[in-house]
Structure formats: C-alpha cells, structure tokens
Amino acid sequence: MIAGEGALAPETGAEIAAEMIRVRLMMDQFELYFSRLSAKFAKTEVYDEQGFDSPIAWIKANCHMSGGAAADRVCAGEQLEQLGKSEAAVLAGEIGFAHFAHIARASAAVGERLDESTLLRHARKESVARFRETCIHARHAADPEGVVEEEVLGVEMRELTLTDTDNGMVSVSGTLDKVGGAALRTALEPLAKRMGKDDRRAHPRRLADALVDLSMHALDNGKPSSRPNLQITTALETLLGLAGAPAAEMDFSLPISSKAVERLACDCSVTRILLGSDSSVIDVGRARRVVSGPQGKALRVRDKGCVWPGCDRPASWTSAHHIAHWIHGGPTDLHNLVLLCYRHHWMVHEGGWQIVRSDEGRMLTIPPVTEFQRLARGPD
C-alpha cells in the first residue's frame, strides 16, 4: 500500500515535496531490484520458449517498456556485482537510478578500467544530463578507441528519408551521429532565430524554414557559402591523442573523440585559452588560421576539388587536410595539404584509411587493415 492515500495524503507544499522524494527513493530501489531480475531472466531460455527474439524483446512486450529502458535494466543488473559502491549510493538516496544506469553502461564498456569512486563523486553532485557527459569523458580516458568505434557505428547508422505525400508535401525523417547532428544544428540555429517580435512561428517551423533557406543558399549559382563555425573545447592531451585524455566538448553535441577533433582541426581557427587549477582564465591567445587565405586559394586552384581518386566533389564542398597532421608536427605547407570532401576526410581520420602522395604526384589510398588480413595464413 502506498502511504499518503486518503486521509494521510500530504497537503502542504513541503509535505508534498518530502513525499515525492520518499516515493522516488522507493522507485529507484525497486529499479535496482527489477534490474537484478532482468539480468537473471536474460540468462534463461524463457523468452525463446515463448517465441521472442531476445530477453529485451520479452521485457518490452510483457513489462510495457521501451527497448532502451529494457536494455538499461539488463545492463544495470549485469553490472551490479561490480558496482557495489554505486548500488549503495542508490539505496541511500545519494544518487538516482538514472545515474546508476550511466555508470553501468560505462562499466560494461571499459570493465576494470572504470574509476567507480571518481564517477560516484561526480554523480552525487551532477544532474543526470551533465553526468551522462562525465561518463563519456571517463570512457574516453579509459578506452578512446572504444569511443571512436561507437562514433564510427553512429556514422554508419546515419539515414535520411524524404517521402512525398499525397498533397505534395515532403516528410523528412532521419538519424545523425553526434558530429553530424551538431553540424546541422549549428548551421540551422542561427537561421532559425525569431525575426522580430511579431514572428510567432514555433521553433520546429523555424528550423524547417532555416533548412530550406540553407538549401536554397547552397544552390545560389553554385557559389560556396560560409561553412558553419563548430566551437570545440579540448585539452591539449586530447588534441595530441594521448592515453587517458578526456573527450572534447562541442556545442549541440555530446563529447566527441580525439579522432573527430583531429579531423575537425585540420583546417580551423585555433584559440589558445589557458585555465588555472580552479578553471579561471589565465590567458587567451589570438586566433590563428591553420590554413591561410592565400594557401586556401592556391589549394583550390591546384586540386580543383576532392583529391580522393574517383571523387567528383568540387572545391566548394571540401576542406584542407594535412597529410601529416600539424598536431604531430606536419607543416602547414602546400606540399603537405590536399583538399578532401567531408566523407573522405572522415575516412582518413576515423575510418582508418590513409592517403599518400606518390613520387609521381599521384594520390594513393590505403584501406584499413582488417582482422581477416591479420590472420596468419594456413597451410595450402
């Protein structure tokens, strides 16, 4: 029986608030218990015997939950034995189950490399939304390649569907990865601002109008438009790709990997901001252009477009790429610069491909080494 019903129901604001906190604690405790049950259930064959593809599918159907919520409970239950401190914090009301779910996902990703005590200290003082980013930083510090693999999967999961309706409208639906979504929002948000006090369009309408404006501008006589300014905050260790470095932060996005930062830093403005131990700003350096204006013009004249063999993207659809990245000592000289379109630029950095210039000046591409290629050859 739930306390607070009938004559015992709280009346004052303070009583209602206290009852909400008490009930939420009970719910979080039950979530831990449900997670433990979910993990045990996932080890049985009951779901298969009842015709379900997975335990998560069974939980969705029979416990009236979304797939993501069901997967979170199974993961949380599987990690309970490794996360005793975090479990105790939930039971004591110090953190919520939502915090615990983020810790559990990080634990499942990096295993014994997880610093549970540090994460728990953050969880006690951070909102769930902020703590999600903290967990991504922790995962990147422990396993940067794992975060890159997730981002690669996110790019592969990109999709956009344009469907013509019977009345001539076009229905747009799709999914973007973190960097792609941030780039789209960064480009659209400035164009989606209200145009005066009489602009009563809802935000979704303004975003749609901004997308149309951006598309029309791109088609304006083929003239290249200004690329959106993606603001990225990164530690020097992350820029250098050092082990144990946190992920980088970007507007309109969750934290991104050092590989993504490396690609975006190929042709960008860099501003040095030196912070003290208490995060106070000690010094701000002047922004410098990694590829200068004259160099950019020379690149466009020389390469005329993306240099990837077979690519026909014009120069206005490309950005400069350092063959040997300036982060690792490569010079920002024309002989070390080429134009690459977005897709091929991504393939070189996150995708594991290499692009090199032959002695004859031709551009050669080298695919990533696969696990199959690493296998030793057996006897004929």
109-165 pLDDT, tens digit each? 999 999 999 999 999 999 999 999 999 999 999 999 999 999 999 999 999 999 998
pLDDT confidence of residue 126: 96
Residue 243's alpha-carbon distances to 257, 277, 282, 363, 369, in angstroms, are 12, 21, 26, 31, 22
Please give the average per-residue pLDDT across 279-289, as a whole number: 61
pLDDT confidence of residue 268: 75
Whole-number Å distance between alpha carbons of 98 and 92:
14
pLDDT confidence of residue 377: 47
Long-range contacts of 218-224 (CB under 8 A, 24+ apart): 222/316, 223/316, 224/315, 224/316, 224/317
State the DSSP code for 323. Answer: S
Residue type, 360: E
Categorize the per-residue pLDDT at 218 as very low, low, confident or very high, splitting at 50, 70 and 90.
low
pLDDT confidence of residue 276: 63
For residue 262, pLDDT over 50 is answered with yes
How is residue 54 written in tokens?
């997975």
Q: In sequence order, which residues have a C-beta less than 8 Å from that of residue 203 and are 6 or more positions away? A: 192
Whole-number Å distance between alpha carbons of 317 and 345:
11
Please give the average per-residue pLDDT across 274-303, as a whole number: 73
Residue 50 exposed, middle or buried by CB count within 10 Å (0-12, 13-18, 19+): exposed
Asked whether 311 and 305 are in contact (CB, 8 A), the reply is yes
Long-range contacts of 373-376 (CB under 8 A, 24+ apart): none
For residue 300, pLDDT over 70 is answered with yes
For residue 172, pLDDT over 90 is answered with yes
pLDDT confidence of residue 371: 55
pLDDT confidence of residue 222: 44
For residue 224, pLDDT over 50 is answered with no
193-206 pLDDT, tens digit each? 887 777 888 999 99
Q: Name the nearest CA neighbour of 130 among 138, 32, 337.
A: 138
For residue 314, pLDDT over 80 is answered with yes
pLDDT confidence of residue 330: 85
319-363 pLDDT, tens digit each? 899 998 887 888 888 889 999 988 889 889 988 899 998 888 889
Q: Please give the torsion angle defined by the CA atoms of residues 324, 326, 327 and 328, in that order, rounded to the nearest 10 degrees.
A: 40
5-35 pLDDT, tens digit each? 555 778 899 999 999 999 999 999 999 999 9
Residue 250: strand pairing partners? 232
Q: What is the mean pLDDT of the chain?
A: 86
Categorize the per-residue pLDDT at 227 as very low, low, confident or very high, splitting at 50, 70 and 90.
low
Tokens 């042709």 -> residue: 267
- The lowest-confidence range among 27-31, 235-239, 244-248, 336-340 is 235-239
pLDDT confidence of residue 221: 45
Whole-number Å distance between alpha carbons of 269 and 288:
5
